[in-house]
Structure 1
């Protein structure tokens, strides 16, 4: 079996990669051996599958649903089609989170039947009654024959007992290729087969993807023949990036150079590549401007939202600090941070404790007002970058 689930421990989060060890970068695909990727933050779960006892706080007829108060001041939206019909303000309701809060919008909910919980849990103030599956549990269910590689005993302690017979302890859950492919997912620019390149730009309304011919423009064949072949060969790897980065909602993709009338011939490539995605994205066709339209369900937060905010950048800074510090003698590198990073670290003491345990040093943190609010850098006696 060449499929493995790799769970790499990092401060405040566990990076999870499903890899196929039989595939290599010789395939020419971006992140060739990486099949799935997810972030699991035990201290800040995304809520998918959580069961809540909530309370209707506002009926919204124009929106076709109602807002529901959840635990700790959180809220979500319950559509009429998912159980809000007939409920009024003040009613208690059992709901499950079907889509996490993301893109500035609250969680999307679905009502559960009363017999989903014991009678004693059916009434009372808003409360979290049961957690849904973690990203690791979800991927383990999707790949039932894959072993789970872990590099930290604390990860094993968080895994349900039913999965522990699949665990293998290793020094580094991520090998060099997986580490490189994981790091590349933070970059909005993607190198593609044939010398092509794509730039991914999330916006509040949609995700825009622009393909560029790059080195593919050196092809000596007739222009349209060369451009069709270049797009055909690069698209599967690019469409796989949608899955790896969990891009969702409306996605608009502009292929490279090909005349609008020729783009319809790429439809089978879109449909075949997207069919591999468990969320079953829909290829809607090409607009009058020749832009490919894709619609992918929103469930868990997209990767760019998880990594771009203050908390995500703070965890990234700690991860790089651990890499620079672990196993090194003498004073540890100093982590200099901007104001927003400093606040995020103050709000997540467990992540700082994780960094101390993983590196064997207490992070030496220094607020540096000269840095941007989301900026950070490492410095020390050895001038580690």
Structure 2
């Protein structure tokens, strides 16, 4: 199956979406259960400052339904003060959800940024005439907005008609203005997180989909269920008899690379590079993040730079922020990856 296909389906009564490129699953999103009160990434709340966390450089804030958030790197907020925050990461267990006051109002064609002035065009749009035209449309849609409001025109705008872009930016701007003005009152959800179907429409635009399949059997028909079964196993085949084990723990994600019967350094390098090529996809689909420690197959030390270069290149096109922490004294390689979704094994029904 060639091309880009978006599959819209349901899993255990919850909306779900899958992105398939050339017959291979690239991303999957599933709505949380309706009875799950946990804050979702992207939600915007009016919150109340609860207490300072001096040793952690932030404050705890009170959200609705007895939930808590942790707001890092802020000063001058008094206990009981109202603050508008957005959930920026997945909260593990009973931990407070990480939140920020740097709000993003995100849609298919634009991101409106209160308190972050400036007009920016996606770097993937390279044609200067196109960039200048999109900039004109952005100024038109943002005319009269507060001076500290900014906007980012997204890459999907390159293939959109002018009216749709202006309408999209204007809608996000109006929503942003309404939210930032709604400061007074008890903790309250002001903007809900997008559903998985909305995320698919909003974010899965590169490459642009050739087909959107919405059906109660879309996942089964397009092989998504079979692909998920493989993802729920810790073992990933790397070719040539090599494999890797992805094993999340409460402290970190451990990845162990094995070469099978070939114990040569050349086989080790080959297996490690095979892991690198598929690592962003595996982490994204499995929803794995936080501290990631890789116990790589033995390879010549002179090839460590090659490994790092290939890893950096593979992660460049991945949307999730990932920091290369480097080599440990024991020869492991570590990453730190933003928690931007729940682990697949926790949200996929058993």
How high is the TM-score relative to the length of structure 1?
0.64
Task: State whether structure 2 residue 44 is matched by structure 1 residue 88.
Answer: no
User: Partners of 1:189 and 1:130 in 2: how far apart?
Assistant: 39
Q: Determine the structure 2 residue equivalent to 1:7.
A: 8
Contact 1:246 1:303 in 2 (8 A): yes
Q: Which one of 95, 110, 118 corresponds to residue 100 of structure 2?
A: 110
Deviations 1:184-235 (A, max 9, x none): 1111222222221211221222111111112xx358xxx2223322332343
Task: State whether structure 2 residue 9 is matched by structure 1 residue 16.
Answer: no
The 1:259/1:66 distance shift into structure 2, 3 A limit, reads: same
| Structure having the higher Rg | 1
Q: Determine the structure 2 residue equivalent to 1:68.
A: 61
The 1:244/1:256 distance shift into structure 2, 3 A limit, reads: same
Structure with the higher helix share, 1 or 2:
1
The 1:226/1:300 distance shift into structure 2, 3 A limit, reads: closer
User: Partners of 1:188 and 1:274 in 2: how far apart?
Assistant: 21
Deviations 1:90-130 (A, max 9, x none): 11111111113225421111125697436883211111112
SS of 1:268 mapped into structure 2? helix
The 1:67/1:193 distance shift into structure 2, 3 A limit, reads: same
Which aligned pairs between 1:174-189 and structure 2 lie closer than 5 A? 174-175=220-221, 177-189=223-235
Contact 2:42 2:88 in 1 (8 A): yes
Deviations 1:151-176 (A, max 9, x none): 14xxxxxxxxxxxxxxxxxx434435
SS of 1:227 mapped into structure 2? helix
SS of 2:184 mapped into structure 1? coil
> Cα RMSD (Å) of the superposition?
2.6
Q: Which runs of 5+ in 1 are unaligned?
A: 24-32, 153-170, 308-314, 317-385
Number of aligned residue pairs: 273
How high is the TM-score relative to the length of structure 2?
0.70
The 1:234/1:129 distance shift into structure 2, 3 A limit, reads: closer
Give 1:305 shift: 3.6
User: Partners of 1:119 and 1:283 in 2: how far apart?
Assistant: 36
Q: Determine the structure 2 residue equivalent to 1:36.
A: 27
The 1:175/1:292 distance shift into structure 2, 3 A limit, reads: farther
The 1:88/1:265 distance shift into structure 2, 3 A limit, reads: same
Q: Determine the structure 2 residue equivalent to 1:122.
A: 183
Q: Determine the structure 2 residue equivalent to 1:199.
A: 245
Q: Which runs of 5+ in 2 are unaligned?
A: 104-113, 116-175
User: Partners of 2:271 and 2:85 in 1: how far apart?
Assistant: 48
User: Partners of 1:263 and 1:290 in 2: how far apart?
Assistant: 10
Q: Which one of 48, 52, 56 corresponds to residue 55 of structure 1?
A: 48
Contact 1:7 1:150 in 2 (8 A): yes
Q: Determine the structure 1 residue equivalent to 2:213.
A: 149
Q: Which has the higher contact order (CA 8 A, sep 6+)?
A: 2
Q: Determine the structure 1 residue equivalent to 2:295.
A: 254
Task: State whether structure 2 residue 348 is matched by structure 1 residue 275.
Answer: no
